[in-house]
Amino acid sequence: MKGEDLFNALGKIDEKYVEAAAPKKVAFYRKSVFKGAVAAAACLCLIAGGYSVASVLTARDGNLPEISYTLVMEGMGYEGTDELALSNSQDINPWNEDIKLDKLPVYKNLCYNEGKLSQTYFNILELKKQAEDLADKLGMHYGNTQISISHDQEIYSFSLETEKGTVRAFPKGSNITVRESDFTLIEKHMQSACSKNSNSKAETGVYNEYSVDGELLTSKTRTYYKSGNITEDIISFNMQSHYLTESGNYITGSSDNYLNGSEKIGDYPVISLNKAKEKLLRGEYISTAAENYVEGGKITEDVIAKADLIYYTMGNQEYYLPYYRFYVKSYSGDSDFQRYAYIYVCAVEDEYLGEITVFDGSLQ
Amino acid sequence: MKDIDIIKLYFARSEKAIDETNIKYGAYCKCIAHNILCNQQDSEECVNDTYLRAWNSIPPKEPSNLRTYLGRITRGLAINRYKLYSAEKRGGSTADIVFSELEGCIPSQMRVEDSLDEKLLLKSIEDFLRRQSTEKRNIFLRRYWYCSSISDIARDFSVSESKVASILYRQRMKLKEHLESEELI
């Protein structure tokens, strides 16, 4: 059975339901994106100016809704990294500067909880079921769990204690903590949680964080499943990665699943890296960087160390969109190592973006 | 003109029946057709075909609800035309997205090649609809019967688009659970 079969079956339901749901106001025939005379005049100007019409005149896809939002960036200090972390980490991001993309998917986060730190959507019973389903899949046994629900309680996780360790379910993923001797459960969790098909291969990299003195603080192993399709790989890397962290005799395997409780709203045209860089240099970007983070207070080409393409998923976001993330040399304070601030430029073409919080380039 | 009087015109084989149908329900039928086909000319042709079907079927049929009767015909004709365009690769429409969304309601244990007894499936879907609140049922059917856009639904129900998306997602998950529990295979 396919979705179309279900659609056809719905066509035969009792007319009383159909009648009750009938549109009260009838709106049809969307306005044409092109207004013929204006488009023709634009063509003439562009041809005279030596530009390719096809490269400049793009029809806005009327099926794609405009996106208005505020990118929520929380935490202490500013987002960034340093040269030690960069040189000692294995970056497995499938995107690189040679890859040319026309479109990327955008997702609406149904768990978005406006003005709050935590995300809610699934109620505690649903999170409990997610945790129990995961424990069952991994063969981890648990007893009966008594819970009480408070109507004003913000539910953002559910923990289940089993004989082999802890299982936790979140709106956007899950994790298990087990003894080192039960490492096979970690692998089983990763294989069950990450999106993959028969052609997918696990890609693993290590990401390290250091103190200002160069001491290794954390080392995190990150794995995602790569299929060979660049768009799928970008989504898999950003939305469904698996992490390993060790603490004493215990290992925690965490699986992100930002597609859970999210809905794709469309495949949106994206700008090139060069265009994103032009916007950055004009001051059209988003950043948590502190005042005077760049010498002279203005970003120039020579302080941009590298760029990658990511989906911003940290914290409580209303949408998951692709961004170009630029690594900009910044004030390093007491550190012996060069620090880089993360500067973000949304990759979706401007004509699909409504109101968006943008850092205008001036010092805070 | 009242529905009962329009139907009398059909029974009398008066061509005024078509004019009156068009006046009262032309916009309604065009809305359904356009939601699926996204093309003015195709939608108009589809509505004209609807009137022809109505003319050829009334009598002997005597619909108790003329609007829904016509809407059902239009919906079926629009989908058939959409399938023809899909085969000719003439591009997609809201129907593509709606079909894709409904894929998520298919019970996990079903395969693409599995088929169901239509009557059983229909009864199960109606059981599901009956258990939903009026607002959620209407939003669900506006999307999956009328193929209305999220923004049109949000406007008509005076809620945000995110709330519509949220309701539709939950309803699809509930329908899936309901179909799985019915053991229809």
Taking an 8 Å cut-off on Cβ atoms, the answer to whether B65 and A19 are in contact is yes
Task: Give residue-wise pLDDT tens across range A195-235.
Answer: 566 677 888 888 877 776 777 777 778 888 888 899 999 99
CA distance B27 to chain A (A): 7
Task: Give residue-wise pLDDT tens across range B94-153.
Answer: 777 888 888 888 877 666 666 667 788 889 999 999 999 989 999 999 999 999 888 888
DSSP B17-42: HHHHHHHHHHHHHHHHHHHHH--HHH
Point out which residues pair with A130 in neighbouring strands. none
Best mutation target among A8, A14, A16, A17 (most B Cβ atoms within 10 Å) is A17
* Partners of residue B152 in chain A, C-beta under 8 Å: 23, 27
The pLDDT value recorded for residue A349 is 92
The pLDDT value recorded for residue A75 is 47
User: What CA–CA distance (Å, rounded) separates B44 from A257?
Assistant: 44
Tell me the torsion sign for CA atoms A296, A302, A306, A307: positive
For A156-304, where are the alpha helices, taking DSSP H only?
183-193, 230-239, 273-281
Query: Which of B31, B64, B94 is nearest residue A23 as measured by Cβ atoms?
Result: B31
Taking an 8 Å cut-off on Cβ atoms, the answer to whether B126 and A18 are in contact is no
Q: Which residue has the tokens 């860089």?
A: A277
**CB crowding A259-268: b at 16 or more within 10 Å, else e:** bbbbbebbeb
Helical packing angle, B66-87 and B3-11, nearest 10°:
70
Taking an 8 Å cut-off on Cβ atoms, the answer to whether B98 and A7 are in contact is yes
The segment(s) of chain B belonging to CATH 1.10.10.10 are 95-182
The pLDDT value recorded for residue A308 is 95
Point out which residues pair with A252 in neighbouring strands. A177, A245
Taking an 8 Å cut-off on Cβ atoms, the answer to whether B106 and A8 are in contact is no
User: What CA–CA distance (Å, rounded) separates B50 from B31?
Assistant: 13
Taking an 8 Å cut-off on Cβ atoms, the answer to whether A23 and B152 are in contact is yes
Task: Give residue-wise pLDDT tens across range A236-249.
Answer: 999 999 988 777 77
Query: Which of B71, B116, B161 is nearest residue A18 as measured by Cβ atoms?
Result: B71
DSSP A183-220: HHHHHHHHHHHS---TT-EEEEEEEEEE-TTS-EEEEE
> Residue A340 in contact with residue A80, Cβ under 8 Å?
yes
Domain range list for chain A? 3-56, 67-111+264-356, 124-170+173-257
Alpha-carbon distances, residue B143 vs A104, B98, B139 (angstroms): 25, 8, 6
Strand (E) positions, chain A?
67-69, 80-82, 103-109, 158-162, 165-170, 173-179, 201-210, 216-226, 242-247, 250-256, 262-269, 286-287, 304-311, 319-320, 322-330, 339-346, 353-356
Task: Give residue-wise pLDDT tens across range A155-186.
Answer: 567 888 888 888 888 888 888 888 888 888 88
Taking an 8 Å cut-off on Cβ atoms, the answer to whether B165 and A263 are in contact is yes
Which contiguous run of DSSP H or E holds residue B50?
helix B40-57
For residue B111, which phi and psi values (nearest 5 degrees)?
-105, 165
**CB crowding A230-241: b at 16 or more within 10 Å, else e:** bebbbbbbbbbb
For residue A203, give the nearest of A93, A126, A76 by alpha carbon: A93
The segment(s) of chain B belonging to CATH 1.10.1740.10 are 3-90
Best mutation target among B108, B125, B137, B177 (most A Cβ atoms within 10 Å) is B125
CA distance A90 to chain B (A): 36
* Residue A257 in tokens: 């699943």
CA distance A26 to chain B (A): 6
Provide the CATH number for the domain formed by B3-90 in this structure.
Answer: 1.10.1740.10
Taking an 8 Å cut-off on Cβ atoms, the answer to whether A1 and B114 are in contact is yes
The pLDDT value recorded for residue A194 is 59
For residue A120, which phi and psi values (nearest 5 degrees)?
-130, 155
Interfacial residues of A (vs B; Cβ cutoff 8 Å): 1-15, 17-30, 63, 65, 108, 110, 112, 121, 263, 265, 318
The pLDDT value recorded for residue A121 is 63
DSSP letter for A83, please: H
Taking an 8 Å cut-off on Cβ atoms, the answer to whether B34 and A9 are in contact is no
Higher pLDDT, A333 or B8: B8
CA geometry: angle B109, B178, B150, nearest 5 deg: 100
Taking an 8 Å cut-off on Cβ atoms, the answer to whether A13 and B35 are in contact is no
**Which residue on chain B is closest to A319 by alpha carbon?**
B162
Which contiguous run of DSSP H or E holds residue A129?
helix A124-138
| Strand A158-162 to A201-210 pairing | unpaired
Compute the average pLDDT of residues B72-101: 78
Per-residue pLDDT tens digits of chain A, which is 364 residues long: 778 888 889 999 998 999 889 886 443 322 222 223 333 333 333 333 333 333 334 457 778 888 887 776 654 455 678 777 778 788 899 999 999 999 999 999 888 766 554 556 667 778 888 888 899 989 999 876 655 544 445 556 788 888 888 888 888 888 888 888 888 888 888 877 655 666 778 888 888 777 767 777 777 788 888 888 999 999 999 999 998 877 777 888 888 889 988 999 999 999 999 999 999 888 888 876 654 566 556 788 888 999 999 999 877 788 999 999 999 887 666 667 788 888 889 999 988 888 775 333 333 3
Those residues whose C-beta lies under 8 Å from the C-beta of residue A32, and which sit 6 or more positions away, are none
Taking an 8 Å cut-off on Cβ atoms, the answer to whether B161 and A26 are in contact is no
Taking an 8 Å cut-off on Cβ atoms, the answer to whether A2 and B99 are in contact is yes
Taking an 8 Å cut-off on Cβ atoms, the answer to whether B105 and A6 are in contact is yes
Best mutation target among A4, A5, A6, A16 (most B Cβ atoms within 10 Å) is A6
Taking an 8 Å cut-off on Cβ atoms, the answer to whether A2 and B72 are in contact is no
Taking an 8 Å cut-off on Cβ atoms, the answer to whether B105 and A20 are in contact is no
CA distance A314 to chain B (A): 20
Query: Which of A2, A23, A121 is nearest residue B103 as measured by Cβ atoms?
Result: A2
Higher pLDDT, A320 or B161: A320
**Which residue on chain A is closest to B143 by alpha carbon?**
A21
CA distance A18 to chain B (A): 7
Q: In CATH, what is the architecture of B95-182?
A: Orthogonal Bundle (1.10)
User: What CA–CA distance (Å, rounded) separates A194 from A256?
Assistant: 8
CA distance B32 to chain A (A): 9
